[in-house]
Amino acid sequence: MTANSSTISTIVINSVPIAVRDTAEADLPVVLALHSLFLDGRMFEEFTAAARGVFRVVSPDFRGQGLSGMVDADIVDMDTHAADIEQLIERLGLQDINLLAQSMGGDVGLRVVHRNPELFSSVALIGSSARSEPGEKHASLDAWVETITAEGFTGETLEETLRIMFGTTTRSNPSQAENMAMWRSWIAEAGRNLAPQLAGVNARGSLLEVLPEITVPTLVICGEEDVARPPAWSEEIADRMPRAELVVMAGIGHSPILEDPGTVIPHLLAFFAQSQ
């Protein structure tokens, strides 16, 4: 991974301090990068370095995650995060935005794009879905929230999270050992504070019915080994969105931009360039 090539500032949005990484290249087209649950804006460092001089990259940490302010709530829903991002866009005066969203970032980003289509030039969704969490998973996920609230990300809970976030091929690849250690430390840092965010993701509503209304060019990337949001969930996004392209990656799990940045990042940069 490369060193961070952004300046980190804090903007108070809806009464919560939101940490924002911003390359601040005001004369360049914008990529708004929204991170996954369990991680934060650091997951886009390598993309940000590759985009320097071509795109301005703005990457906030969602409330209660990363360097942003904590929240005193049992649940933080996707509409609350979407309202934060809408305010951030307004405060920074962003327009003609290229959205880059991973997993939970897609849950939030699709809501923002659907409500503000005039602000966006393109959308790239990675390891994302537009459906609600299947009902049969709710009980086990609620129990997981309780465990995290009590213990944070330690032991088997941490290892289970890594199995969710990264494919079997990535986790077993000796060349990825250093990266896996770093990602493990990032997730462990989240600790008990992440429980309200996890509860919000578990309770998210479906957006399948609004996908045909999102008409900007869209790139959908998923990994064949994604167990959190299986390829079929990405396929239904691509099927329902009028201008969507689907890329399914072999040997990759839930986090393609981390697991194979050498393939994913050039594809993203080319896609965003075409939309300008």
Torsion sign, CA atoms 110, 75, 36, 131: negative
* Cα–Cα distance, 158 to 38 (Å, whole number): 10
| Ranges of H-type helices in 116-260 | 138-151, 155-165, 168-171, 177-190, 195-202, 231-240, 256-259
**For residue 62, what pLDDT is reported?**
97
Whole-angstrom distance, CA of residue 237 vs CA of residue 242: 10
Question: What is the C-alpha separation between 265 and 60, in angstroms, rounded?
Answer: 19
Instruction: Look at residue 263 in the predicted model and tell me its pLDDT.
Output: 98
Q: In this predicted model, what pLDDT tens digit does every residue of 186-226 receive, in sequence order?
A: 999 887 788 888 889 988 999 999 999 999 999 999 999 99
Label residue 1 by pLDDT band (50, 70, 90): very low
At residue 2, does pLDDT exceed 70?
no
Whether the pLDDT of residue 3 is over 70: the answer is no
End-to-end CA distance of the chain: 28
Confidence of residue 269 (pLDDT cuts 50, 70, 90): very high
Q: Hey, what domains does the chain have and what are their CATH numbers? A: 7-275 (3.40.50.1820)
pLDDT tens column, 41-85: 999 999 999 999 999 999 999 999 999 998 888 899 999 999 999
Note the pLDDT tens digit of each residue in 132-141: 987 767 677 7
Q: What is the pLDDT of residue 138?
A: 67
Q: Is the pLDDT of residue 120 over 70?
A: yes
